[in-house]
Amino acid sequence: MKEIWIIGFLVSSLLLNLVCLAVILAVKKAYQNKLYQITDDMKRILDYDTDEKVMLFTGDKAIIALNTQINRMLDERQNIKAEYRASQLSAKRMLSNISHDIRTPMTVIQGYVEMLLMDENNDTEMLKKVDTKVKQVTKMVKDFFSLAKLESGDAAITLEHIHCNEVCKSSILGFYDILAAQGFTIDVEIPKQDILAWADQEAVERILYNLISNVIHYGAAGNYLQIKLFGDDNYVYIAVADKGKGIDSTASQHVFDRLYVTEDSRNKLIEGNGLGLTIAKQLSLKMGGDLTLKSEPYLKTVFTLKLKKYRNL
């Protein structure tokens, strides 16, 4: 009997230990599941940069305390983001206002210089140099003003269906005399069928003006300019290419950065303020498109404007 009792006691003890182990494992599993849920929520919030909070229903005080501190951290992050956005917007609007204020006196100065140029008794050569510099500064201020308005959200972008065929033709015709005089080979690939984009026509024309001007200024060594219009099911593409010295891989990474200029643009014979491509990029993004660059020096340098395709529903 004594042996049976001992065996029964051992069996009962083993079963009790197994039950305790099962409970411990279950509690551990529950803790792990809650921590995994918190981890997944945090990953989603950070990956998608949302303003959500971690929502977890539990009666465990330790988990509740952890969840509270995580949400407190997310609140702080949200406040910092809001303050940063507000300061950025304020700075951009201030730049826009300053640019606007500078434009007015520069326009007045340019007017006086033009009046002085009409007087034959004045030093015409000196005044022409002054006039050139005034125009350069005026253009720079104008570009600053345009970029500041774009970045602050004050620029008016009106999306409508535009005929890309006609926009491309008029853009290249506007430069035809200059290109012909400099001996450029002009390669135009514009299909006969209409290609419509959902965009702002003035913005597209400004982007193409900038891109073609860049070819004349920086790609003249290749004496070649191509404008190609094509599309797919969702987008319209306008590619402007040249066969000049191109843009190396280092510069390609920064060519759309504000105030970035290549070594060529520092040459006094070439005008450049490092804002043209930045404005073009911003305009393309505001229209829901993009502007990209691919360059193989002395083979082909291509800027490609991507626009949303217009769908007549």
Q: What is the pLDDT of residues 236-264, one digit of tens each?
A: 999 999 988 888 777 777 788 766 555 44
- The predicted pLDDT at position 63 comes to 74
* Residue that wins the pLDDT comparison between 129 and 245: 245
- The predicted pLDDT at position 275 comes to 76
Q: Are strands 185-189 and 224-231 parallel, antiparallel or unpaired?
A: parallel
Same domain, 106 and 146: yes
Q: What whole-number distance in Å separates Cα of residue 191 and Cα of residue 229?
A: 7
Q: What whole-number distance in Å separates Cα of residue 238 and Cα of residue 203?
A: 13
Same domain, 47 and 70: yes
pTM confidence score: 0.59
CATH number at residue 181: 3.30.565.10
Same domain, 243 and 179: yes
Residue 86 lies in a domain: no
Residue 303 lies in a domain: yes
Same domain, 39 and 178: no
Residue 252 lies in a domain: yes
- Residue pair 117/127 in contact by the 8 Å Cβ criterion: yes
Same domain, 266 and 173: yes
Q: What whole-number distance in Å separates Cα of residue 150 and Cα of residue 167?
A: 22
Residue 164 lies in a domain: yes
Same domain, 224 and 269: yes
Same domain, 54 and 189: no
* Residue that wins the pLDDT comparison between 22 and 109: 109
Same domain, 136 and 189: no
Structural domain tally of the chain?
3
Residue 202 lies in a domain: yes
Residue 142 lies in a domain: yes
Q: Which strand (E) or helix (H) includes residue 132?
A: helix 124-152
36 CB-near residues (< 8 Å, 6+ apart): none
Domain with 138, as residue range(s), is 98-152
* Residue that wins the pLDDT comparison between 133 and 282: 282
Q: What whole-number distance in Å separates Cα of residue 164 and Cα of residue 308?
A: 11
pLDDT bin (cut points 50, 70, 90) of residue 17 is low
- The predicted pLDDT at position 226 comes to 94
Q: Which two tokens stand for residue 302?
A: 């291509």
Residue 92 lies in a domain: no
Cα 170 to Cα 163, 176, 214, 254: the distances in Å are 11, 10, 17, 30
Q: Which two tokens stand for residue 204?
A: 């597209």
Helices (H) and strands (E) in the chain, counts: 8, 7
Same domain, 165 and 118: no
What's the pLDDT tens digit per position in 39-67? Answer: 787 788 777 778 888 777 777 777 778 77
Task: Please tell me the least confidently modeled range out of 200-209, 226-235, 252-261, 298-307.
Answer: 252-261
% of the chain surpassing 90 pLDDT: 25
Same domain, 286 and 207: yes
- The predicted pLDDT at position 101 comes to 61
- The predicted pLDDT at position 266 comes to 36
What value, to the nearest 5°, has the Cα angle with vertex 208 and ends 204 and 211? 140
Is the confidence at residue 290, as pLDDT, over 70? yes
User: Which domain-ending residue is among 81, 109, 133?
Assistant: 81
Same domain, 28 and 127: no
- The predicted pLDDT at position 36 comes to 75
Same domain, 188 and 278: yes
- Residue pair 278/207 in contact by the 8 Å Cβ criterion: no
Is the confidence at residue 33, as pLDDT, over 90? no
Residue 91 lies in a domain: no
